[in-house]
Amino acid sequence: MNNGWINDSERDAFYKIVHARRDVRSFFKPDPVPSEALARVLRAAHHAGSVGYMQPWNFVVVEDPALRLKVKESFEKEKAEAALLFDEPKQRRYRSFKLEGILEAPVNLIVTCDSSRHGPQVIGRRSMPETDLYSTCLAIQNLWLAARAENLGLGWVSIVKPEDLHAIFGVPREITVVAYLCLGYVSEFPLEPDFERLGWLKRLPLKDLVFFEKWGDAKPSEGREDLPGLLGGEKK
C-alpha cells in the first residue's frame, strides 16, 4: 500500500495521455467498443470533482443509427449556417473541414447537467451558480483522458443546436445538454491537433498566458525566475 502516492512511471504515463489527447473527427473504425471499456470510461467521468459533491451529470449512450442520423442532419444544417460567418477564403476552408464522426463512430454519448440535483442549496454555488456546468466539464475531461488511455478516439460535436438534441432524445427542458461526443477505436491518432495540423490556428505559447501576482504582470515572482523558461518548452 502506497497511501495514494503516484510513482514516477505512473506520473509520466499520465502526462503522456494528456499530451496525446486529441479531438478526433476522422479515422473512426467500425469495431465495437466493449462494454468493459465503456464502463471504465464512464466510471472515470463519474469520478470527476464537482461543486459541493453535486455530481450534476447524466450520460446517454447512443448507438441507434436512426437517432445518430437525425443528429447528423442537425449538424449539417448548423455547419452550413456557421460557414456564412466567415469571409472567403476561410469560408471555403471551413466547409472542407471534417468536424464530426457522428455516423462513423460506433458510440455517441450525450453529457448533461442537472442544475437542480440535491436541491437549491449546494455548497459552493451561492457565489458562482454556474459551477454545476464547470463540474460537468470536468467529468467530460475525465472521460476524454480515460478514452485516450483505452486508445479510443473521442470528438466533441458542438455544431448542433441543443434544442434539437432535446427533441431527438427526449431530454427534459430543465436539463442542460453540455456535450455531444463521438467515441470509438481509430486507425490513428494525429501527432498534432487538427486545427494546428491544418494551419487554422497554432497553440499559444504558455509562457505568454501565465501572470504573476496580478493580471497582466509577466515578471516572475521571487524564486520563480526559472518558470517562464520552463514553460517555453511545452509539448504539443
| Residue where the block lists cell 520552463 | 230
Residue 3: pLDDT band with limits 50, 70, 90: confident
pTM of the predicted protein model: 0.92
Q: Report whether pLDDT(233) > 90.
A: no
Domains of the chain plus CATH, in order, are 8-192 (3.40.109.10), 204-236 (no CATH)
CB 135, CB 48: distance < 8 Å: yes
What pLDDT sits at residue 232? 84
**Would you place residue 4 in the very low, low, confident or very high pLDDT band (cuts 50, 70, 90)?**
confident
pLDDT tens digits, residue range 121-179?
Answer: 999 999 999 999 999 999 999 999 999 999 999 999 999 999 999 999 999 999 999 99
In SS3 terms, the chain reads as CCCCCCCHHHHHHHHHHHHHCCECCCCECCCCCCHHHHHHHHHHHHCCCCHHHCCCEEEEEECCHHHHHHHHHHHHHHHHHHHCCCCCCHHHHHHHCCCCCCCCCCEEEEEEECCCCCCCCCCCCCCCCCHHHHHHHHHHHHHHHHHHHCCEEEEECCCCCHHHHHHHHCCCCCCEEEEEEEEEEECCCCCCCHHHHCCCCCCCCHHHCCCCCCCCCCCCCCCCCCHHHHHCCCCC
Nearest to 221 by CA among 211, 212, 230: 212
Within 10 angstroms of residue 167's Cβ, the number of other Cβ atoms is 12
pLDDT at 236 over 50: no
pLDDT digits (tens, 9 = 90+) for 60-86: 999 999 999 999 999 999 999 999 999
> Is 193 or 236 the better-scoring residue by pLDDT?
193
Q: What is the mean pLDDT of the chain?
A: 94
Strand ordering across the sheet containing 57-62: 57-62, 107-113, 176-185, 152-156
CB atoms within 10 A of CB 86: 13
From 77-81, 85-89, 232-236, the region with the lowest mean pLDDT: 232-236
